């Protein structure tokens, strides 16, 4: 097997071009020996990255560049687990609630959601978005206002907000970011907020922008401010057309973007669209319902508003792909803290009372199990088979009418009650009982 000396940045660029450019994909697959030579890579050596017939080559047969690329991708895919670990130091009710949302999404969503990081928060620094992507899953309205750093007490309030979020989430607050249904570069003071973020939380926030091409030197200066925390992923430039993909590849060397993702959203790219918001209009076959990657809070600095949200695939009820538990406004950091604590107390359901009646999620049904020692549950996307004796006993006893206390009492003659409660918490952690709130008016 030939060993390719290409470096990771060039392989990454090759793959980004492969994803974004249909003609390039065709050229690679039809004449792998030539296409991509201008990038300094050997497409043939990279075949396991792009050829479905070669993806399962044994590890020892892989070119080192392929192994390195896959390792880098796995590293990125590990963001959620690093975040989970770090969030243990913050609000315990939040950490457990987020864990249950991850469990719920695992059985409600297509595989891309399985590595959804479920970030803790985002802060919008504008109202609306100037880009107006036709696939915008949040159906962002047109840009109508920005929160200037030196006006309305924003500079001070922003720092106080970050301190409040750090007190709530612990050091993992550095995984938050400063956009949602907005583009960060719409705010001319974005870099000043980034600097404040770094000063308060230790590293710059992750930036994703579709406005990177409007002022390339500004984008270069922004990227030069440094990368985000390892638990926050990487900076990303959204690509909305083939021309933009080519422009990005002309303006930035592979090395400059070694730690910056090019997210090809343009027509002809291999990336899946999401059906939420305007996504279904852009791609009627969009296989992914929601691409919300927050289980936590969205704040808006212009409106001084805050919402507690989590990803949701039920677009009939939540068309933007996330369910909202609670909305509020705050005038100062104390108001925000009160909101966070109220959510923690009222919405995150840290402990299940013995009197409460556990009930399987509405989208979870029971199936005939092939084995008498198993309980099989099904959702529209997955089957969950439980074979631990305590799990199966609990799942058979939980019928939506008996309280948790009654369920445990009824099983105590056969099973240790400590194990019954412990296994119930694990089942709960799988999101099986996690009912989403009804849509708000």
Partner 1 sequence: MNVSSEQVQSWAKLVVQSWDDAALKQRLLSDPIPALREAGFQLPAGMRVKVVEDPARTAEFADDVTLVLRLPPAPSEPRGAALSEAELDAVSGGTVRMALASNPHAAYLAGTIMPTHVPDRFPDIAAP
Positions 40 through 99 that interact with partner 1 (CB under 8 A): 50, 52, 55-56, 73-74, 76-79, 81, 84, 92, 96, 99
Give the nearer residue to partner 1 in terms of CB position, either 157 or 395.
395
Q: Which is nearer to partner 1, 56 or 362 (CB)?
A: 56
365 binds partner 1 (CB under 8 A): no
433 contacts partner 1 (rule: CB under 8 A): no
Distance CA 279, CA 422 (A): 41
* 362 is a contact residue toward partner 1 (CB under 8 A): no
For 271-306, the DSSP string reads: PPPB-TTTHHHH-TT--BS----EEEEEEETTTTEE
Q: State the greatest distance between any 2 C-alpha atoms of the chain, in Å, as a whole number.
A: 72
Number of Cβ atoms within 10 Å of the Cβ of 393: 18
Task: Give 389-393 contacts, CB < 8 A, sequence gap 24+.
Answer: 389/415, 390/415, 390/419, 390/420, 390/423, 391/423, 391/426, 391/427, 393/420
Q: Which of 4, 91, 107, 164 binds partner 1 (CB under 8 A)?
A: 107
Q: How far apart are the first and last CA of the chain?
A: 61
Give residues 293-312 in contact with partner 1 (rule: CB under 8 A).
Answer: 293
For residue 147, the surrounding DSSP H or E stretch is: none
What does DSSP say about strands 294-300 and 119-124: parallel, antiparallel, or unpaired? Answer: parallel
Whichever of 136 and 333 has its CB closer to partner 1, that residue is 136
Contact region with partner 1 (CB under 8 A), list: 194-202, 244-252, 257-265, 312-320: 257-265
382 to 421: interface string for partner 1, x by CB under 8 A: xxxxxxx--x-------------x--xx--x---xxx-xx
Q: Which residue has 């670990």 as its token pair? A: 85
Q: What is the DSSP letter of 440?
A: P
Minimum Å gap between C-beta 99 and partner 1 is 4
Q: Using CB under 8 A, which of 36, 205, 233, 254 touches partner 1?
A: 233
Query: Is 19 a binder of partner 1 (CB under 8 A)?
Result: yes
Taking the complex as a whole, the smallest distance from the CB of residue 218 to partner 1 amounts, in Å, to 21
Sheet holding 119-124, edge to edge: 119-124, 294-300, 305-311, 322-329
If one asks whether residue 193 binds partner 1 (CB under 8 A), the answer comes out as no
CB of 83 to partner 1, least distance (A): 10
């Amino acid at each position: 097997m030939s060993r390719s000396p290409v470096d990771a940045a060039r392989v990454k660029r090759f793959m980004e071009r492969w994803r974004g450019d249909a003609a390039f994909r065709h050229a690679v697959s039809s004449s792998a020996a030539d296409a991509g030579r201008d990038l300094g890579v050997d497409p043939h050596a990279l075949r396991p990255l792009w050829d479905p017939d070669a993806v399962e080559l044994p590890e020892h047969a892989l070119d080192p560049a392929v192994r390195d690329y896959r390792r880098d991708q796995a590293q990125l895919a590990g963001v959620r687990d690093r975040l989970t670990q770090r969030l243990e130091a913050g609000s315990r009710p939040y950490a457990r609630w987020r864990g249950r949302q991850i469990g719920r999404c695992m059985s409600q969503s297509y595989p891309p959601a399985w590595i959804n990081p479920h970030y803790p928060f985002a802060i919008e620094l504008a109202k609306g978005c100037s880009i107006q992507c036709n696939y915008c899953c949040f159906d962002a309205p047109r840009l109508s206002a920005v929160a200037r750093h030196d006006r309305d007490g924003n500079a001070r309030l922003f720092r106080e907000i970050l301190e409040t979020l750090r007190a709530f989430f612990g050091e993992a607050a550095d995984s938050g970011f400063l956009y949602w249904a907005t583009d960060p570069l719409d705010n001319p003071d974005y870099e000043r907020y980034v600097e404040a973020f770094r000063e308060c939380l230790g590293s710059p926030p992750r930036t994703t922008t579709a406005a990177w091409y409007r002022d390339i030197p500004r984008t270069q200066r922004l990227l030069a401010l440094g990368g985000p925390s390892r638990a926050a992923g990487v900076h990303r430039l959204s690509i909305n057309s083939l021309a933009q993909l080519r422009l990005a590849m002309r303006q930035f060397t592979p090395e400059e973007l070694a730690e910056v993702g090019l997210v090809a959203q343009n027509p002809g790219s291999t990336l899946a669209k999401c059906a939420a918001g305007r996504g279904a209009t852009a791609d009627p076959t969009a296989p992914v319902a929601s691409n919300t990657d927050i289980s936590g809070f969205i704040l808006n600095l212009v409106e001084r508003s805050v919402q507690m949200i989590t990803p949701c695939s039920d677009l009939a009820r939540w068309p933007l792909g996330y369910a909202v538990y609670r909305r509020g406004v705050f005038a100062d950091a104390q108001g925000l803290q009160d909101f966070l604590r109220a959510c923690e107390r009222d919405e995150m359901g840290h402990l299940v009372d013995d009197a409460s009646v556990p009930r399987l999620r509405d989208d979870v049904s029971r199936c005939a199990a092939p084995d008498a020692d198993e309980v099989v549950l099904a959702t529209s996307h997955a089957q969950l088979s439980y074979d631990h004796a305590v799990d199966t006993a609990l799942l058979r006893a939980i019928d939506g009418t008996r309280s948790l206390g009654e369920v445990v009492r009824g099983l105590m003659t056969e099973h240790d009650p400590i194990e019954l409660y412990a296994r119930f918490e694990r089942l709960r952690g799988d999101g099986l009982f996690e009912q989403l709130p009804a849509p708000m008016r």
